Amino acid sequence: MSIAIEFNNISKLYRLGLVSTGTLAHDLKRWWTINVRREEDPYLKIGETNDRSTKGESDYVWALKDIDFKVEQGDVVGIIGKNGAGKSTLLKLLSKVTAPTTGEIRAKGRIGSLLEVGTGFHPEMTGRENIYMNGAILGMTKPEITRKLDEIIDFSGCERYIDTPVKRYSSGMMVRLGFAVAAHLDPEILVVDEVLAVGDAEFQKKAIGKMQDVSRGEGRTVLFVSHNMTAVKQLCKSGIVLANGKISYSGTAEKAIEKYLGINAEATKTPLSIRTDRIGDGKIKVVDITLHNKNNQIVTEAFVGQYLKIEFKVEVNADIDPSKLIVGCLLYDPYGTLVMQWASDEMVHDFSNVTSGSFFLEIPALNMRPNAYSMYVQLSLGTTAPEDFCDAIHSAFILNVMNDSFFLEGVNIRPNRGYTALLQGKYFTDP
Amino acid sequence: MSEEKWTTVIKPKNKLLEVNIRELWDYKDLISLFIKRNITTQFKQTILGPLWFVVQPALTVIMYMIVFGGIAGIPTDGVPRPLFYLAGTCMWQYFADCLTKTSNTFVDNAGIFGKVYFPRLAVPLANVISNLLRFGIQLGLFLIVYAIYVLIGNHEAHFTWYALLFPVLVLMMAGLALGFGIIISSMTTKYRDLQVLFSFLVSLWMYATPIVYPLSQTKSMFWNGVQVHTLMCLNPVTPIIETFKYGFLGCGEFVGWRWLIYSFVFMTVLLALGIVVFNRVQKNFMDTV
């Protein structure tokens, strides 16, 4: 396999704050040192790591720092990371929207970028005119577009509206049309940034399918940025995790996703009682969560299909009416999809005795596929409206469900297949 | 691995004179689509449509006739006032339109430039070309008014051979506007001060160009011992306008090849300089605009 893209020590410096006389002073000083004194840019040295949440000393940050990696031809690389980790900057550099501060990117073949679909759509022009416009902006020639026009219109599913100005389109239709054009672009390297976020389920499926065809069937290289882990997992072979402008992991897509979600699960390492990433007035708070098996022994993991009791230790900090308490316990799979919910208002339970310090959730049989589920706990008084929240905390606990037999004693079921629910059932044939 | 064939190499800075004409040529379809877009979208949802192209110079000419002809009483070299003003306005308007549109290239197109790469020069180039349509219509108006004066008003048509220079004159206008425009647009990406300065500088510039008065008026004027006529001709737009008026209306006298060539060289140097500056800025402008 040959290398399609090579990033050599790519860094990108950004200046924060407003453009003002201060900027002018910096520019003059930079110009003076570089052009007159022939020295290195003085502001390159004082750049800081790009951590969005902390206040920095310097006005300059490295949006990307020493990015160094190679992409093989035909590979589909998922780039994941938190907001502001530098994902989009990386793609912008590759698609030549802006230039790196240092380093060099080398690539083989035409690069097509889909940083935002529908780029250059003019609201007054019809869908058909915009297909030409958009196609040309993305680097297609007129005859090329004409040849693919029917295919593009068909793929977008907007045939009825094709001669109507796009300002009359719904936003979803606009995205469909934009993606349809981009999907029919034939670059050797395709750069895609979060395009699947909009559009309905049917279209998302179509879009993912098209991208799979592009990479598998046609052997093109794709760089894909997304927060949708399911899409990354489906599409990508390898993955890169960016954190604060640096590569924190590079390897297979599955491993990268695990690493990335691991970063998120970091929070659960702090004891629940001292965590501060919670909302609500704190009149009553969850301070500890433990699991019990059917023999009432404390366990660290749950097993598929078995009895489970979850104990929530609470701390009451105010004079409350516990009979009004509503408890919600929600489970999310590693891709952030809600899979289970136990809401006490649906189950009608009176928590009058909660002042004793604990309440329990008893699950007779845990009919869930093995996986690591993240638990969200919410306590509220009277209603479930946010203003009545006493305590709400995401990733309060990671519930590890281990593999076990389910349908038949002694026969383990398959590990996680991308869905959660298990239902008892059996096949039989007439005797 | 080092002898692999890379087709794209992205580096922090371009070489000084690296202008990729071939790349621009590869995007010729995009340029033609930009031109089409500029023209077709201009008058969507208007009732008068392209008629506005005619209304605008007509009203301007009437205003000039009142202010400069009537109140100030500036002569027009024996040419009927409407014709004289119309000739000047048509030419100047083309130059001014191209210039203002081009000088806003980066700011106006920040959205699209921030998403996808294509040779940025395609946008100002398309602007200059699509403005030709408006210019053509206004020139048509000029010729119609001219014909009316000749047929009904018994004004003697006075074409000179210099009228044949017309295509070159338009090219020079376009080149100057493009050159100035891209330099300004490159400078305004970070500091918008220049944009404010420029918007009124263009309107002042018109008075430094013989649009509302004939250049012949300045022959007898001196400023610190220098003929004002010479100073006027240092403005590279002056020789173009004067040649146009002399060619079509026969008014005044030819400014001389010397000034016309000066103007042409000025245009060429400016355009080259503009492209170099523009090229440097386009790589990183997204970070500052």
Order of strands across the sheet with A358-363? A298-299, A284-292, A308-316, A358-363
Query: Which residues of chain A lie closer than 8 angstroms to B13, CB-CB?
Result: 99
Which residue range forms the structural domain that includes residue B166?
Answer: 48-284
Residues A312 and A250 in one domain: no
CA atoms of B81 and B75, how far apart (whole Å): 8
Residue B55 lies in a domain: yes
Residues A286 and A223 in one domain: no
Query: Which residues of chain A lie closer than 8 angstroms to B29, CB-CB?
Result: 136, 140-142
pLDDT for the residue numbered A36: 74
Query: Which residues of chain A lie closer than 8 angstroms to B11, CB-CB?
Result: 99-100, 104
pLDDT for the residue numbered A417: 61
Total tally of structural domains belonging to chain A: 2
Which residue range forms the structural domain that includes residue A181?
Answer: 67-264
Residues A195 and A338 in one domain: no
Name which of B1, B12, B191 is nearest A102 (Cβ-Cβ): B12
Residues A260 and A296 in one domain: no
> Is the pLDDT assigned to residue B246 strictly greater than 90?
no
CA atoms of A413 and A403, how far apart (whole Å): 7
| Cβ neighbours of B282 (radius 10 Å) | 24
- Helix (H) or strand (E) segment spanning residue B54: helix B51-64
From chain A residues 44-73, the ones with a CB under 8 A of any chain B CB are none
Average pLDDT, chain A: 82
Residues A221 and A327 in one domain: no
Q: Taking CA atoms, what residue in A is nearest to B280?
A: A99
Residue B29 lies in a domain: no
Residues A260 and A294 in one domain: no
Residue A59 lies in a domain: no
Q: Does A240 touch chain B (CB under 8 A)?
A: no
Please compute the mean of the pLDDT values over residues A416-422 and round it to a whole number: 72
Query: Which residues of chain A lie closer than 8 angstroms to B38, CB-CB?
Result: none
Residue A21 lies in a domain: no
Residue A12 lies in a domain: no
Q: How confident is the model at residue B265 (pLDDT cuts 50, 70, 90)?
A: very high
What ipTM did this prediction achieve?
0.76
Residue B107: name the closest of B38, B31, B37, B186 by CA.
B186
pLDDT for the residue numbered B1: 44
Contact B9 A119 (CB under 8 A): no
Q: How confident is the model at residue A291 (pLDDT cuts 50, 70, 90)?
A: very high
Q: How confident is the model at residue A190 (pLDDT cuts 50, 70, 90)?
A: confident
Residue B27 lies in a domain: no
Query: Which residues of chain A lie closer than 8 angstroms to B284, CB-CB?
Result: 98-99
The least confident of A243-252, A340-349, B46-55 is: B46-55
- Helix (H) or strand (E) segment spanning residue A222: strand A221-225
Residue B102 lies in a domain: yes
Residue B131 lies in a domain: yes
| Cβ neighbours of A344 (radius 10 Å) | 19
Query: Which residues of chain B lie closer than 8 angstroms to A103, CB-CB?
Result: 12
pLDDT for the residue numbered A378: 92
Residue A122: name the closest of B36, B132, B104 by CA.
B36
Name which of A111, A137, A139 is nearest B8 (Cβ-Cβ): A111
Percent of chain A with pLDDT over 70: 88
Q: Does A23 touch chain B (CB under 8 A)?
A: yes
pLDDT for the residue numbered B2: 47
Residues A257 and A304 in one domain: no
Please compute the mean of the pLDDT values over residues B6-12 and round it to a whole number: 77
Whether A317 contacts A282, CB under 8 Å:
yes
pLDDT tens, residue by residue, A87-113: 888 888 888 888 888 888 888 888 877
Query: Which residues of chain B lie closer than 8 angstroms to A2, CB-CB?
Result: 4
Whether A67 contacts A9, CB under 8 Å:
yes
Whether A119 contacts B115, CB under 8 Å:
yes
Residue length, chain B? 289
Contact B37 A107 (CB under 8 A): no
Nearest CA of chain A to the CA of B27: how many Å?
7
Residues A223 and A354 in one domain: no
Name which of A19, A27, A106 is nearest B8 (Cβ-Cβ): A106
Q: What number of CA atoms fall less than 13 Å from residue A340's CA on the CB side?
A: 21
Contact B7 A124 (CB under 8 A): no
- Residue A245's contacts (CB-CB under 8 Å, 6 or more residues apart) are A49, A50, A61, A62, A63, A64, A65, A85, A86
In chain B, where do the E strands start and end? 8-10, 222-223, 226-227
Q: How confident is the model at residue A326 (pLDDT cuts 50, 70, 90)?
A: very high
Residues A136 and A165 in one domain: yes
Q: Taking CA atoms, what residue in B is nearest to A141?
A: B29
Burial B190-216 (b: 16+ CB within 10 A, else e): beeebbeebeeebeebbeebbbbbbbe
Total tally of structural domains belonging to chain B: 1
Percent of chain B with pLDDT over 90: 10
Name which of A99, A119, A125 is nearest B284 (Cβ-Cβ): A99
Tell me which of A412 and B59 has the higher pLDDT: B59
Residue B39 lies in a domain: no
Residues A199 and A294 in one domain: no
Name which of A15, A103, A119 is nearest B115 (Cβ-Cβ): A119
> Is the pLDDT assigned to residue A191 strictly greater than 80?
yes
In A1-99, where do the E strands start and end? 3-15, 48-49, 60-72, 76-81
Residues A214 and A75 in one domain: yes
pLDDT tens, residue by residue, B120-149: 888 999 999 999 988 999 999 989 988 888
CA atoms of B121 and B184, how far apart (whole Å): 14
Residue A143 lies in a domain: yes
pLDDT tens, residue by residue, B172-227: 999 999 999 988 888 887 777 777 888 888 889 888 888 888 887 777 777 777 77
Please compute the mean of the pLDDT values over residues B15-26 and round it to a whole number: 70
Tell me which of A118 and B41 has the higher pLDDT: B41
Please compute the mean of the pLDDT values over residues A251-265 and round it to a whole number: 76
Tell me the CATH number at A317.
2.70.50.60
> Is the pLDDT assigned to residue A134 strictly greater than 80?
yes
Residue A422 lies in a domain: no
Residues A104 and A182 in one domain: yes
